[in-house]
Structure 1
Amino acid sequence: MADIVRALFLYRPRSVLGGKTMGDTIKSTDNIVSCSNNGQHPLIYINLKSGTGRCQYCGQKFEKVSLESHAAKQASNA
């Protein structure tokens, strides 16, 4: 029974987990990103049309960046 309760706890939305969040914001040039926290919660797709998004399960933050700004940053790091 304890395994069932633990499994149910892992699949609770982030708001039920007290707002725990992961580390850094993941930047993407795509409009839609996916998150599963390496299989720790169900695979979901997050729309970044508004510029940012957050996973409802693990709290991971995502940010949409333009191709130009991404290319400029890559060039400056090279």
Structure 2
Amino acid sequence: MELDEDVLADVRKRLRRAQGQVGGLIQMLDDGRDCRDVIIQLAAVSRALDRAGFQLIASGLEKCLSDDSEQGAADRKQLEKLFLTLA
């Protein structure tokens, strides 16, 4: 399955941002920053990764549904399993 290039570009951008945030987190730990600040940044990274994953899943589900509609009924169990991997 191929995903829309615009979706992939946005997901890449989100992942690069998260990658930078992880680097910042490591630096915060090395600098002995306050635990609260580290946890806030950790939560931000987690949300960024979740959003990237959900965007991929949503785009993938949309693609799966449109592909399946051409071939017959969608396999609901497989779609649920795919979605729940990130939920």
Same fold (TM over 0.5): no
TM-score category (smaller protein): under 0.3
Larger radius of gyration: 2
More RCO (CA 8 Å, sep 6+): 2
Which one has a larger percent helix, Structure 1 or Structure 2?
2
